[in-house]
Structure 1
Amino acid sequence: MSSETTFPANPPSRRPLRVAGVIGLLIAIGIVAAGLTLRAVDARKLKTWTDAQSVQTVNLIKPIRDTSGPSLQLPGRLEAYTRAPIFAQVSGYLKRWNVDIGTRVKAGQLLAEIETPELDQQLVQARADLQSAQANALVAGTTAKRWEALRGTDSVAQQDVDQRTADYTARAATAAAARANVDRLVATKAFARIVAPFDGVVTARDTDVGALVNAGAGGVGQELFEVSDVKQLRVYVQVPQNYSPAIHDGTNATLTVPEYPDQQFTARVVAAAGSVNSSSGTTLVQLLVDNANGKLLPGGFASLKFNLPVSADSIRVPASALVFDSRGTVVATLGPNNQVVFKPVKISRDFGDSVEIGAGLAATDRVIDTPPDGLADGDHVQIATATDRKAAAHG
């Protein structure tokens, strides 16, 4: 055997292995590069998302300017245009009454009669006194004439003539006083007929046949009837001081009453007290309302609605846009470059769900509704889209 090793004449080539190795290496490098690129993209997306989340999203609203002014609703009370409590001017017993509550009466119409036996006797005595005084005056006058005729003779003294003349003058005066007393009692007797002072409606009757009637008012005598003129009614309302300049003579108001909830009446301001009640901070205003159909009742409650004029400088925003903090009342607005700007404002009127801003805000300002907590001046924010608002509404 030969000790020499025998090799093939043509050994196999290593080039295919090298190519395969290079390709594998390139694939590995590509996979690594793709992974690194994907991670870099994800990192950028994460950073972008994080940055976007750090910028708060806000809803913008535009201040509105009302085409019609605000309304002021106030309670009021109805009173008769003219109201007269009827008292007796003579004492006696009620003989009869001719009208009851709700009766429409004319001026001078008989309401009731009073029986006055004591006054009748006084009148009889006064007339007798008058006749006696007239007779005495007649005799004194005749005597004075006779003595006056004898003055030119020496049969009577001048003093006697003067005495008879003075006696006649005194008796004539007594007769005149008796006549005046009779006339007074006759005039008083006329008040035994209770009549209506004006056209109206009997709104009260507080007496009956046979009742003792005392003359006078103020606790001496009782009220017999009450007559009210209700063709027009007076309406009294207490207006807060800050609204009083807007409610003046000629201002109209819409009036409603509980018994006719679907019907409206028009009342017109005719007078104001011109002063403020220190305890309530209101001023008394009087209105007139037509009541020719008699639907409205004096003494009743009424609700009045005043349509106030539109203020040229005032605008309205939702109450949710207000922020109350150490700066006072402020509104968050969006300035240039979507930066937050807080503006102090002055509230003119509060309507509950919205407020009227009297100063500090312009109609062109972009107002942030319901500002997020922690929002500060200069913060950058983004404006919510319709999709964002829809998603928040369903969230």
Structure 2
Amino acid sequence: MNSSLHTNTKVRMIIVYSLTLAVLTGGCRTEDKPQQKNPETEQPADIQTTEIFALQKGRLTSSLQIPGELMAFQQVDLYAKENSFVKKLYADVGSEVKEGQLLVTMEAPELGSQLAGASSNIQSREAIYTASKASYDRLLATSQTPGTVSPIDLEQAAARKSSDFSQLQAARDAYQQIAEMQKYLQIKAPFSGVITARNVNPGAYVGPSGKGSELPLFTLKEQKKLRLVISVPEAYTSYLHTNNEVSFTVKALPDQQFTARVKRLAGAIDNRLHAQRIEMDVVNNDKKLLPGMVAEVSLPLPAADSTFIVPKSAVVNTAENIFVIRVADHKAEWVTVKPGREEHGNIEIYGRLNQGDLLLKTATEEIRNGSELKNVGKIAE
């Protein structure tokens, strides 16, 4: 019985060993088989092509966003011409006034005394002149009889009359001057506008700037017509001309767009800003815009002449040079250019180029000058 069990165990071990050897042998044969290539899954290497385009001229119309300031078309600080006291005010901050409207009256007792003295002086000079004229007239009538009046006496009487008349005229002029000074005790609006500042009250002592008043009595600004003032950088001054229309917005009314026309150009570049001052007139009858507002101005910059226009990707900008790559006999040629304005992915260029030259649409510094271009694609439209 034990002998039989031992025999069966040996048989089972031989069978297991045989099966294991067969599996291992089959696995090794499978690994030894060469792998077959599938032509359908094999992909060819990528071949990059260089896209080119023919250089053409065109007109690039762009715009420039620049801040501006709205100012009153007319504005003035009103001071008292004579030292005086404020008697009555007829306007206040925010008052809309018309041209010639009375704003303030003042009083100066010294002027009243001076005017009364000048009037008395006129009366005195008139009496003196009347007497000297009467004396001369009598001598002249008497001189008609020969030998009655000396010619020298007649000449002296005539000279006295002329002198007295001159002094009478001087007295009248002095009186008129004081009377004119009294008119300055009433200040009227020089133009229609709005009072934006008031710095005095009734009874205040006022006078010319620095001699009685450090601040003006009133500040008057025109509101129905404004100036839009901007400083245009030197590079863009050639694009703007008189009567060009511009558009602008203000922060207080972001959903509204306003227009204005260029009216005045400074004609010179500011040394500090390197920009030209340009003014535009803005009609403001509805008074929506206020003097002092900051505006965001959009300036149209139409090209006066056609220039070479290329995609921005065609221009290489390095620290040493700015260039495009021209294709000449399948070789790369660096051509130095000067860039101009940019708009919608295009840029103006200036350089030694000719219309119809073939340029790389996407240029890089890695394409060296003089290198051969093997994979040149079709000309881009």
Q: 2:97 aligns with which of 95, 98, 105?
A: 105
Tell me what 1:299 maps to.
292
Tell me what 1:275 maps to.
268
Alignment-mate amino acid for residue 244 of structure 1? T
Q: CA deviation at 1:129?
A: 0.9
Contact residue 323 and residue 334 of structure 2 kept, 8 A: yes
Q: CA deviation at 1:123?
A: 0.3
Contact residue 232 and residue 277 of structure 2 kept, 8 A: yes
Q: Which of 1 and 2 has higher RCO (CA within 8 Å, sep 6+)?
A: 2
Contact residue 66 and residue 316 of structure 1 kept, 8 A: no
* Equivalent runs, 1:255-334 vs 2, <5 Å: 255-310=248-303, 312-319=306-313, 322-325=315-318, 328-331=321-324
Contact residue 64 and residue 317 of structure 1 kept, 8 A: no
Tell me what 1:13 maps to.
none
Tell me what 2:10 maps to.
none
Deviation string, structure 1 residues 17-71 (Cα, Å, up to 9, x no partner): xxxxxxxxxxxxxxxxx969x57x88xx98x84xx25x44778899999987111
Q: CA deviation at 1:147?
A: 2.5
Contact residue 111 and residue 196 of structure 1 kept, 8 A: yes
Q: CA deviation at 1:244?
A: 1.2
Tell me what 1:150 maps to.
142
Q: CA deviation at 1:302?
A: 1.6
Q: CA deviation at 1:101?
A: 2.1
Question: Kindly tell me: are residues 221 and 174 of structure 1, through their superposed partners in 2, closer, same or farther at Cα, counting changes over 3 Å?
Answer: farther
Alignment-mate amino acid for residue 317 of structure 1? P
* TM-score (normalizing by structure 1): 0.72
Q: CA deviation at 1:115?
A: 0.6
Contact residue 334 and residue 368 of structure 1 kept, 8 A: no
Gaps of 5+ in 2: 1-32
* Equivalent runs, 1:87-236 vs 2, <5 Å: 87-151=79-143, 152=145, 154-215=147-208, 217=209, 222=214, 223-236=216-229
Deviation string, structure 1 residues 146-165 (Cα, Å, up to 9, x no partner): 23232226454333333233
Question: Kindly tell me: are residues 333 and 285 of structure 1, through their superposed partners in 2, closer, same or farther at Cα, counting changes over 3 Å?
Answer: same
Q: C-alpha separation between the residues in 2 aligned to 1:190 and 1:105?
A: 20
Question: Kindly tell me: are residues 373 and 273 of structure 1, through their superposed partners in 2, closer, same or farther at Cα, counting changes over 3 Å?
Answer: same
Tell me what 1:237 maps to.
230
Contact residue 348 and residue 355 of structure 1 kept, 8 A: no
Contact residue 338 and residue 349 of structure 2 kept, 8 A: yes
Q: C-alpha separation between the residues in 1 aligned to 2:49 and 2:365?
A: 9
Contact residue 100 and residue 205 of structure 1 kept, 8 A: yes
What SS does the corresponding residue of 2:130 show, helix, strand or coil? Answer: helix
Q: CA deviation at 1:95?
A: 0.7
Tell me what 2:78 maps to.
86
Q: CA deviation at 1:358?
A: 2.0
Contact residue 340 and residue 349 of structure 2 kept, 8 A: yes
Q: 1:357 aligns with which of 348, 354, 359?
A: 348
* TM-score (normalizing by structure 2): 0.75
Amino-acid identity (%): 27
Q: CA deviation at 1:265?
A: 0.9
Q: C-alpha separation between the residues in 1 aligned to 2:368 and 2:139?
A: 121
Q: C-alpha separation between the residues in 2 aligned to 1:160 and 1:366?
A: 109
Deviation string, structure 1 residues 301-355 (Cα, Å, up to 9, x no partner): 2221012215633435245x5434588334468899xx7746534421246x845
Q: CA deviation at 1:201?
A: 1.9
Deviation string, structure 1 residues 235-265 (Cα, Å, up to 9, x no partner): 2211122211110011111111121122111
Deviation string, structure 1 residues 351-391 (Cα, Å, up to 9, x no partner): 6x8451324597996755485957783244598xxxxxxxx
- Most deviating of 372-381 and 298-307: 372-381
Larger Rg computed on CA atoms:
1
Contact residue 65 and residue 363 of structure 1 kept, 8 A: no
Contact residue 147 and residue 161 of structure 1 kept, 8 A: yes
Q: CA deviation at 1:94?
A: 0.8
Q: CA deviation at 1:279?
A: 3.5
Contact residue 227 and residue 281 of structure 2 kept, 8 A: yes
Q: C-alpha separation between the residues in 2 aligned to 1:219 and 1:306?
A: 46
Q: C-alpha separation between the residues in 2 aligned to 1:326 and 1:114?
A: 70
Question: Kindly tell me: are residues 200 and 325 of structure 1, through their superposed partners in 2, closer, same or farther at Cα, counting changes over 3 Å?
Answer: closer
Q: CA deviation at 1:111?
A: 0.5
* Equivalent runs, 1:8-19 vs 2, <5 Å: none
Contact residue 62 and residue 342 of structure 2 kept, 8 A: no
- Most deviating of 57-66 and 139-148: 57-66
Question: Kindly tell me: are residues 346 and 142 of structure 1, through their superposed partners in 2, closer, same or farther at Cα, counting changes over 3 Å?
Answer: closer
Does residue 378 (structure 1) correspond to residue 372 (structure 2)? The answer is: yes
Alignment-mate amino acid for residue 166 of structure 1? A
What SS does the corresponding residue of 2:223 show, helix, strand or coil? Answer: strand
Contact residue 102 and residue 188 of structure 2 kept, 8 A: yes
Contact residue 347 and residue 355 of structure 1 kept, 8 A: no
Q: C-alpha separation between the residues in 2 aligned to 1:314 and 1:104?
A: 55
Question: Kindly tell me: are residues 251 and 326 of structure 1, through their superposed partners in 2, closer, same or farther at Cα, counting changes over 3 Å?
Answer: closer
Gaps of 5+ in 1: 1-33, 384-395
What SS does the corresponding residue of 2:217 show, helix, strand or coil? Answer: strand
